[in-house]
Amino acid sequence: MPPHDKSVQSSRNAEHMQALLKRIRTEGDRVKLGGGPDAHAKQRAKGKLSARERIERLLDPGTKFLEVGLFAAHGMYEEYGGAPSSGTVFGIGTVHGRDVVIVANDATVKAGAWFPITAKKNLRAQEIAMENRLPIVYLVDSAGVFLPLQAEIFPDKEHFGRIFRNNAVMSSIGIPQIAVIMGPCVAGGAYLPIMSDEAMIVEKTGSVFLAGAHLVKAAIGEEIDNEKLGGADVHSEISGVTDHKMKDDAAALEKVRSIISKLGTKPAAPFNRTEPKAPKHEPKEVYGLLPADRAKPYDMYEVLDCIVDDGSWDEYKADYGRTIITGYARVDGWAVGIVANQRAVVRNAKGEMQVGGVIYSDSADKGARFIMNCNQKLIPLVFFQDVTGFMVGSRAEQGGIIKDGAKMVNAVANSVVPKLTFIVGNSYGAGNYAMCGKAYDPRLIFAWPSAQIAVMGGKQSSETLLAIKVQQMEKGGKHISAKEQAALLKEIQDRYESQLDPLYAAARLWVDGVIDPADTREVISRGLRMAAHNPDIPRFNPGVIQT
């Protein structure tokens, strides 16, 4: 492409990405309002800070909070008025120079009640704390389970009770848990702060009990108010359930900071880090690289030039399996192994054209071998996904694509070094698995605004669904005209496209969030710093991998 044409195309791409980012930021700002101004005013009238104000007071000044699950529950539970951010704010922050997982109930959203996705989000917080051996702080202000949906949150393995099981497991492996009861803490939810290692309660606003005053009266006929039943004085002076009684939110948060400042330190993981260098290109130049038309190819090497430290790239098997890029590099000084889908059209050793974004047998073989190398060398892995899946057709099947694909999936599944995943564009089918999707335990997984996650692309899936629908209707004796088929196809496409939106994935916690592509380098560095807190790396055993 001539330089002028390339510049014009880059500007168009950048405009498209910035429009996507504007939408994500606007929606994020709306979600951060929680239950809205009136609900926040009621919170302040009770002398309470909001969930986000509490987190801000807890963090070291000038440090960034890496939020996880901002868009949890986005577009869900609308019949109940919605649940912005699932009524819980969580992420990784810095307290006295230490990485800490922080979970805060947002009482402006349904009094901080737990929806099914809220439980999933809290389990994700505990998972991050356990995987990375990070202290965790719970800022509790919740009315308990959202009763209309209790059947979807109560009894199963990944439901509410798993949180208390994790409390016990984290204590047993030495992960500090500090809880602050800043509002109601009811029924089963009462176990979360009390199963923590240290618990404090705020006077007049904090309360904790297995059954509130109304239920106590209904159950045993006793008349008592909530403060006398389970307030700060009761649990700090009589029951001994809590360890500290604090006069207000600010004092409680300062006490948490003081406790964290005195925590001991443990050996760090042996990941290599040197003095950081800036990338070859400014991170924001990545905006102009991804085509607005997602069917068009682009060069993933150019994307990596906006992320990795300049001069640090050592490619692995550069001329083999070229639809996957593998190489050792540094990001903000951290040594990493990069596995990325190449979206440019390439030629294999035989001179045959290969479609960008598709994993061929040679690419899968290369990816598997590189992942094993990184595990042997204790180098964390970073995946950049823009994959439409594995190659299909008789030639691919005869060439053993299933065997080679299984080899790569096996290597990812058994990998023991920390893995970070970024969904740049497409994330379709088994390509999602081979490139370390959520099911393969990445320490963090974020999407760009250009991301799409699905079994297959919208066009292919819509046409497949239409064919099935038409066949069913014609079997029932109804003839479908071309006009009716077109209307059906549009209906199917619209529904499917809504599910490809990265916010749809973020709402269900398939990804930890949707980030600005220019922040990718910073997120990788933060993720690796976090991962380095856990020095316990098991020996890599790839299992059965056919060669």
- pTM of this prediction? 0.94
Predicted local confidence at residue 546, as pLDDT? 57
The SS3 of residue 510 is: coil
Predicted local confidence at residue 255, as pLDDT? 98
Query: Roughly what angle, to the nearest 10 degrees, separates helices 116-132 and 160-172?
Result: 10
pLDDT 10s digits, 378-389? 999 999 999 999
In angstroms, what CA-CA distances link 65 with 53, 90, 99, 281, 298?
A: 12, 9, 10, 26, 32
Predicted local confidence at residue 520, as pLDDT? 98
Predicted local confidence at residue 547, as pLDDT? 56
Measure the CA–CA gap between 285 and 296, rounded to whole angstroms.
18
Predicted local confidence at residue 456, as pLDDT? 67
Predicted local confidence at residue 544, as pLDDT? 64
**Regions in the chain scoring below 70 on pLDDT:** 1-5, 188, 456-463, 465-466, 544-547
Predicted local confidence at residue 465, as pLDDT? 67
Predicted local confidence at residue 143, as pLDDT? 87
Assess contact for 60 and 96: CB atoms under 8 A: yes
Assess contact for 57 and 139: CB atoms under 8 A: no
